[in-house]
Amino acid sequence: MKTILVPIDFSSAMAGVVAQARELARACDAELHLVHVRDLASLPAYPAPAVGFPGMGVAEMGVTGGVTMAVPGLLPEEMPNEKGPDRVIALAEELRHQGLRASVHERAGAVVEEILKLADELSADLIVLGSHGHGSVYNLLVGSVTEGVIKAGRHPVLLVPIAVAAK
């Protein structure tokens, strides 16, 4: 095992997930790849104008009044991100100071798809994810990143339960 992918979501389980990944990387002399995916679906929505003009990114989509859309005209790298990549970079630097190899990846898009794309690009040997313990109703309505990655079945997954992650 040489490549471990660790999606970073800034949840309360993150520290435990990173700790488990760190110990695996140390034991296997593997490189950690930290990825933070900005979920474009979670961006705030704004009312779309009733009339669009070419180049606005609105007219081409046929959007009319009353419909909402995510921040019009912004590219994914321009989207608001209050957590910022700085926290992931700081985490990678901390891991490097502990003698580990760690890389940072910033993505924007559908979280599960972006994690899987990066895992494919890296030929990841393992993806380390946390289980947030949301109920079945939450997962039914919102979906679960962990479940999506596991169901894809393309890479081995280590699931760190929230109880372990909290220690």
Q: By CB neighbour count within 10 A (0-12 exposed, 13-18 middle, 19+ buried), where does 35 fall?
A: buried
Domains of the chain: 3-40+79-165 (3.40.50.620), 44-73 (no CATH)
Confidence of residue 158 (pLDDT cuts 50, 70, 90): very high
Higher pLDDT among residues 92 and 51, named by residue: 92
Per-residue pLDDT tens over the stretch 110-156: 899 999 999 999 999 999 998 766 555 544 444 578 888 888 878 99
Supply the pLDDT for residue 147: 83
- Cα-Cα-Cα-Cα torsion 104, 109, 112, 118, nearest 10 degrees, comes to -40
**Residues with Cβ within 8 Å of residue 118, at least 6 apart in sequence:** 5, 33, 35, 105, 107, 124
pTM: 0.72
Helix axes 84-97, 14-28, angle to 10 degrees: 40
Per-residue pLDDT tens over the stretch 58-113: 434 444 444 434 444 444 444 444 555 788 999 999 999 999 999 999 999 989 99
Supply the pLDDT for residue 71: 44
What is each CA distance from 99 to 55, 86, 132, 134, in whole angstroms? 49, 20, 29, 34
What is the residue-averaged pLDDT of the chain? 76
What is each CA distance from 83 to 16, 86, 126, 143, in whole angstroms? 19, 8, 25, 22
The yes-or-no verdict on residue 24 having pLDDT over 90 is: yes
